[in-house]
Structure 1
Amino acid sequence: MADCTPPSSPALDSYVGYHLRKAHNQALRRLDLALGKLQLTTAMYGVLELLSCNEELAQGQLARGVGLTNPSMVPLADKLAERGLIDRTRQEHDRRMVCLKLTPEGRKCWSRASRIVREHEAALRGALSDAETAELIRLLGKITGE
């Protein structure tokens, strides 16, 4: 009979990156399942969230905002546009610059998705006090340079 205890390594157990990856994978797995009901990924939700707070953003700005590269942002924007969730426009002064904004349907989808994300976030924070949550966010900001 196989042992169900996960293997361990003293070296891995001491790596911040290892623990970040485990926490990231666990958190995203649950959120991706929940957002999947709306046919969204976490990256798609991030785009909708940023656009919900900004009238219009350049595609490159959005990519940086959700932690993607410019080339990886293109297919994501394509999917959102195909679903009628965003509109794309080229800037008159620089035709290379593409700006995105939410459509009314995109705003409705964002509203539904944001409820899912808030519930997920509450579950993540459930084991932490408000002070611990603030400290964790502060410490992660130090790692990411924010």
Structure 2
Amino acid sequence: MRFLIIDDDETVHMYLTKLLSSYARCESVFSGAEAIDAFRKAVEDKDPFDTVFMDILMPEMDGHAATKELRALEAELGINGPGEFKLVMITSLNDTKNVSQAFFKGYASCYIVKPFSKVRVLNELRENNIL
């Protein structure tokens, strides 16, 4: 498996990589624009990401906008159904608007609110068939 972690906070990259590296190869980027480039390259290299961990609050392009671009890129590349990446929203926001947008517009598999706990992250991923 291969995971893409998108967050503008390096400590989140380090935490999730350490936690998840025994389950998948993890790559981290700091912005939505970098995520789009990494995603496209992974598909071109025939080594796509199975799961994308997306922060919502990021400068320039927030996580909702980046997710919309990644989903559009999937469609453009003919990726659909079981080939689509699973989306895990990782954010400090837990209001109804952001949660709804993540699930109904981004097709998120789960939504994990920061600060993380190891048990909560692993349980969410297992319950949603990501691990």
TM-score, with structure 1 as normaliser: 0.26
Larger helix proportion, structure 1 or 2? Answer: 1
- Kindly name which structure, 1 or 2, has the bigger radius of gyration based on alpha carbons: 1
TM-score, with structure 2 as normaliser: 0.28
Larger strand proportion, structure 1 or 2? Answer: 2
